[in-house]
């Protein structure tokens, strides 16, 4: 386990526990709680409360069609992974294995400029998730957001106008945040990032390249 300084807000943990959080953000929550005892305990408490509520509900008759529809919703909802052991050989938490494979060599990195690389895990109508690799000391272009952005540091660290973020830390961005993240010197910074919408770049060059780099 690690001693994360920046955790996941309670409202996001609640959405994760109830299965209403989009998959891209659920991946980050699952990865964070696999490394952070504090947030893992909070999720387990929320799950326990939800279970108690369901147990105490008055029994009602449900027809077969409603039952099948409910089971379909459950099967299609985001699966929560409560991993409590961190791999000693990989920077990638266990919940990422379904997306990147069991070997780091399977990750398909694509350069997007300035030595920065990304690997898009998936992109759907709700949100997208990607890995971002930033060379030591490199600064990302100044940008803001159209919706929610969650970033989790997997290796190295970065700083922006908000704070300093290290392994396991979470940064939450929204349309009120404009920042210029910069990787710490001395070590490659790798982050897991989920976004609801494309970033809003403030400089002309990233704007021109954006349709091609899909960020």
pLDDT in tens, 70-104: 444 444 444 444 444 444 568 999 999 889 987 78
Specify the pLDDT at position 82. 44
140 falls within a domain? yes
Element housing 195 (H / E): strand 189-195
Q: pLDDT tens for residues 34-70? A: 999 999 999 999 998 765 554 555 554 545 554 454 4
110 falls within a domain? yes
79 falls within a domain? no
Specify the pLDDT at position 30. 96
Specify the pLDDT at position 131. 97
Specify the pLDDT at position 65. 56
How many whole angstroms separate alpha carbon 121 and alpha carbon 55? Answer: 37
CATH of the domain at 163: 2.60.120.10
Return mean pLDDT, the chain.
80
* Report for 31-35, 66-70, 111-115, 201-205: range of highest mean pLDDT: 31-35
Q: Is pLDDT at 173 greater than 50 in this prediction?
A: yes
Phi, psi of 52 (to 5 degrees): -65, -40
206: domain range?
A: 100-213
126 falls within a domain? yes
Total domain count, the chain: 1
30, 95 in Cβ contact below 8 A?
yes
**Token pair recorded at residue 7:** 């955790």
**Minimal CA–CA distance to 198: which of 134, 133, 130, 138?**
130
104 falls within a domain? yes
28 falls within a domain? no
149 falls within a domain? yes
How many whole angstroms separate alpha carbon 149 and alpha carbon 145? Answer: 7
195 falls within a domain? yes
Q: pLDDT tens for residues 123-155? A: 888 899 999 999 999 998 776 767 899 999 999
């Amino acid at each position: 386990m690690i001693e994360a300084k920046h955790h996941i807000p309670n409202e996001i943990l609640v959405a994760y526990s109830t299965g209403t959080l989009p998959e891209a953000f659920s991946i980050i929550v699952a990865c964070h709680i696999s490394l952070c005892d504090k947030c893992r305990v909070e999720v387990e408490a929320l799950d326990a409360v939800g279970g108690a509520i369901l147990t105490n509900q008055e029994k009602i008759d449900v027809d077969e069609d409603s039952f099948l529809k409910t089971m379909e919703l459950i099967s299609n909802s985001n699966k929560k992974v409560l991993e409590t052991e961190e791999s000693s050989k990989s920077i990638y938490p266990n919940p990422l294995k379904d997306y990147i494979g069991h070997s780091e060599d399977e990750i398909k990195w694509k350069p997007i400029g300035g030595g920065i690389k990304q690997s898009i895990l998936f992109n759907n109508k709700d949100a997208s998730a990607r890995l971002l690799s930033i060379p030591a000391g490199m600064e990302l272009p100044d940008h803001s957001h159209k919706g929610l952005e969650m970033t989790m540091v997997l290796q190295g660290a970065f700083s922006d106008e908000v704070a300093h973020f290290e392994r396991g830390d979470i940064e939450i961005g929204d349309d009120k945040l404009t920042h210029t993240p910069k990787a710490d010197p001395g070590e490659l910074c790798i982050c897991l990032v989920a976004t609801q919408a494309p970033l809003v770049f403030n400089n002309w060059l990233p704007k021109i390249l954006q349709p091609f780099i899909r960020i």
